[in-house]
């Protein structure tokens, strides 16, 4: 993930009335500081695995210094983090920048970017068939696909997240590869009796090239996402046995967002929400894209205050329609911020939930996740006791 470069600009409130509220009374605690032995530099969000369990990835560190998949387990008021797999690079991939998902079979699925920014892999991770006597026994990894970047294949799946459908198919994007070699692809991996088959559904080209994050899928099978290089919001739709790519919005111009790194989230009525780390007249925006009569309406619903930057990853949407996110810099100490946005009568209220400081974590990128009690969890890429990142919890 690119390191943040604060800009000292004056941010304007655009398009809608947005009220910034002071930080609410919250309890923040560091659940784990990465030492490097179990991994370091977690860039992705956590994955809930049931009551008191989270799974996640560390992009580097671990036994072979190529990253890990880890499991966090709650024991009363404390948490234990153990690496369940350490990547070796030559045979299984390296540097998992995205998180994992839990498939219908209970296995974990994820991607790596590849050794020395190589082509990357798609993997499946399961516990050993016989329960080990020691929790330190690693899980078993199955390599489902190695991206080649040639013959139309994708190259370098970066920040995810992956998605899966009811049939167990898995979908994701790559930053490079595809038919045009350097502009990225949307792919599908399908299980079968002979193993897994990877198929490129769409190859991106200017001006929609370079998706750094994943995509979301609606009930009709359409995909939505962003491209950082092409600065666009796109839709990929099934059409006549093939797929059609449509540009829904191109970033640029006065007050608009810039560098669309994170993907979008979708609500129940089809509205799409996302954020950018920077903008042309400020320090990043939160935007909404709404379907209307066969077209789409784009509007900025918040512009972040400077100094600092906006959001590199994706937002989180709760059942009440509130949006949550993290900033990699900015906030009271310019070290990052956890925030909430609440819709009300056509406008949005921005609430600062917590401001990071350098004694805690730095550079928060991954999306926020919730437990059943409404507690929030996330990671930072660096900071913490050893400087290698943390897992944090924020309780109401």
Comparing C-alpha atoms, which of 21, 5, 94 is closest to residue 312?
A: 5
Contact 367, 378 (CB under 8 A): yes
Task: Round to whole Å and give the CA distance between 40 and 390.
Answer: 9
Domains, the chain, ordered by start = 18-395 (2.120.10.30)
In this prediction, residue 253 carries a pLDDT of 72
**What pLDDT does 17 receive?**
32
**Distance from the Cα of residue 335 to its chain's centroid:** 20
- Whether omega before 331 lies within 30 degrees of 0, making that bond cis, reads no
Per-residue pLDDT 10s for the chain (396 aa) are: 544 333 322 233 333 333 344 445 579 999 999 999 999 999 999 999 999 999 999 999 999 999 999 999 999 999 999 999 999 987 899 999 999 999 999 999 999 998 765 689 999 999 988 766 666 788 999 999 999 999 999 999 999 789 999 999 999 999 999 998 889 999 999 999 989 999 999 999 977 788 999 999 999 999 999 998 878 999 999 998 899 999 999 998 778 999 999 999 999 999 999 999 998 777 999 999 999 888 999 999 999 999 999 999 999 999 999 999 999 999 999 999 999 999 999 899 999 999 999 878 999 999 999 999 999 999 999 999 999 999 999 998
The confidence score (pLDDT) of residue 159 equals 92
Distance CA 290, CA 297 (A): 5
361: nearest Cα among 24, 6, 32: 32
3-class SS of residue 32: strand
Q: How far apart are the C-alpha atoms of 261 and 167, rounded to whole Å?
A: 29
Q: What is the pLDDT of residue 351?
A: 97
């Amino acid at each position: 993930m690119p390191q943040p470069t604060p800009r000292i600009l004056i941010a304007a409130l655009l398009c809608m009335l947005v009220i910034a509220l002071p930080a609410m009374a919250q309890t923040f605690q560091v659940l784990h500081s990465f030492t490097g032995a179990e991994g370091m530099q977690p860039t992705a969000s956590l994955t809930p695995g049931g009551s008191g369990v989270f799974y996640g990835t560390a992009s580097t560190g671990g036994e072979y210094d190529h990253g890990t998949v880890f499991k966090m387990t709650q024991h009363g008021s404390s948490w234990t983090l153990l690496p369940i797999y350490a990547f070796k690079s030559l045979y299984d991939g390296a540097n998992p920048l995205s998180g994992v998902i839990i498939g219908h079979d209970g296995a974990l699925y994820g991607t790596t970017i590849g050794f020395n920014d190589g082509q990357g892999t798609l993997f499946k991770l399961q516990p050993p068939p016989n329960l080990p006597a020691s929790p330190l026994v690693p899980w078993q990894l199955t390599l489902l696909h190695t991206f080649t970047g040639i013959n139309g294949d994708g190259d370098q799946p970066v920040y995810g997240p992956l998605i899966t459908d009811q049939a167990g198919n898995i979908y994701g994007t790559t930053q490079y590869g595809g038919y045009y070699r350097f502009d990225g692809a949307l792919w599908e991996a399908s299980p079968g009796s002979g193993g897994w088959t990877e198929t490129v559904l769409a190859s991106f080209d200017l001006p929609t090239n370079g998706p750094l994050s994943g995509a979301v899928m609606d009930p009709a099978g359409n995909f939505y996402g962003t491209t950082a290089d092409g600065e666009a919001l796109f839709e990929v739709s099934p059409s006549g046995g093939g797929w059609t790519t449509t540009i829904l919005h191109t970033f640029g111009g006065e007050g608009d967002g810039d560098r669309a790194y994170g993907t979008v989230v979708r609500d129940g009525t089809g509205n799409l929400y996302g954020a950018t780390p920077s903008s042309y007249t400020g320090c990043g925006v939160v935007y909404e894209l709404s379907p209307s009569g066969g077209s789409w309406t784009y509007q900025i619903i918040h512009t972040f205050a400077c100094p600092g930057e906006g959001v590199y990853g994706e937002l989180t949407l709760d059942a009440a329609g509130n949006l949550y996110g993290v900033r990699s810099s900015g906030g009271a100490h310019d070290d990052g911020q956890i925030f909430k946005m609440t819709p009300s009568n056509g406008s949005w209220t921005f609430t600062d939930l917590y401001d990071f400081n350098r004694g805690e974590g730095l550079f928060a990128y991954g999306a926020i996740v919730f437990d059943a009690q409404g507690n929030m969890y996330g990671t930072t890429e660096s900071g913490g006791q050893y400087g290698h990142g943390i897992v944090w919890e924020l309780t109401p």
